[in-house]
Amino acid sequence: MDFASFLIQVLNSLQYGLLLFLVASGLTLVFGIMGIINLAHGSFYMIGAYLAFVLTSATGSLVLAIALGIPLALIFGALLEWALFSHLYKRDHLEQVLLTYGLILIFEQLRSLLVGDDVHGVAIPAFLDASIQLTEVMSYPVYRLAISVVCIVLAVALYYVIQRTRLGMMIRAGNDDRSMVEALGININMIYRVVFALGVALAALAGMLAAPISSVFPNMGSHVLIISFVIVVIGGIGSVWGALVAALIVGFADTFGKVLLPEISGMIVYLVMAVVLLWRPEGILKKG
């Protein structure tokens, strides 16, 4: 591998890792703060991608589709929390797994009824539909770089909200001791609803952003669900910062694994997870 290729692979790793972070951040919030194992998280990614497809077809613009899609995802998340998830906090993990697995099946069936089983493409917005020439044969799509920028902005914003705002303080306090927070007169149910809606919106946004480069297809959520759980576990459950570090580690391991160790590229991410867990069983940054 020459130096130019190496640099491009680094770029690939960063870009992939940042997109993974966007999906995993919502999962780690819901899992860590609310204690809910949400297998349907991948479905929210799928729903986001299909929203991008449907709304882009209707409005003619992906930017507009995202602007409409985020509030829709937030409302959808809040409604789901109110109708279903709010009954699960005191139940054990098995019941959560059953409910959220059932949701995967329901969402996929609804998707099949409403949009069908075809593969769809989503057009890249015209102002981002360009490439930067990197070597004489290889160029890099500007849209991929734009996604990375959006992911970085969101990572900083999430960090700020959770570490520096009153809401973030309440969320962290609720994570540490739910009953004490309630005793202090804070409406913990409302906090949970906000966190859940935020988690759904983050996954849906990841789906919307990824739609133009990954295309939109049935069961696309299950592809990202497993890797998201790996990231959450490596990073430390509930730690947004940990999810970022873990997502980047996974991005690098996957990219360079494919090129340097193709024979074991399918398991390299899981090897990394095993090593990290041996070294730090709680994840890299437990409760960052």
Choice from 91, 95, 110, 135 touching another protein (CB under 8 A): 135
- Of 169, 219, 280, 282, the residue at the interface with another protein (CB under 8 A) is 219
Phi, psi (5° rounding) for residue 133?
Answer: -75, 120
Should residue 56 be labelled a site residue for another protein when binding is judged by CB under 8 A?
Answer: no
Q: Where are the alpha helices (DSSP H) in the chain?
A: 3-34, 41-59, 62-83, 93-114, 142-164, 166-176, 178-183, 188-214, 220-235, 240-260, 268-279
DSSP letter for each residue of 197-216: HHHHHHHHHHHHHHHHHH-B
- Interatomic CA distance for residues 256 and 6, integer angstroms: 9
Q: Is 131 in the site for another protein (CB under 8 A)?
A: yes
Q: Nearer to another protein by C-beta: 201 or 253?
A: 253
Q: Taking the complex as a whole, how short is the minimal distance between the CB of residue 184 and another protein, in angstroms?
A: 45
Exposure pattern of 203-226 as b/e (b: 16+ CB <10 Å)? bbbbbbbbbbebebebebbeebbe
- Per rule CB under 8 A, count of chain residues that contact another protein: 43
Q: Is 167 in the site for another protein (CB under 8 A)?
A: no
When asked if residue 112 is in the footprint of another protein (CB under 8 A), the reply is yes
Nearer to another protein, 112 or 163 (CB): 112
Residues engaged in binding another protein (CB under 8 A): 1-2, 4-5, 8-9, 12, 15-16, 112, 117-121, 123, 131, 133, 135, 137-141, 143-144, 213-220, 223, 254-256, 258-259, 262, 265-266
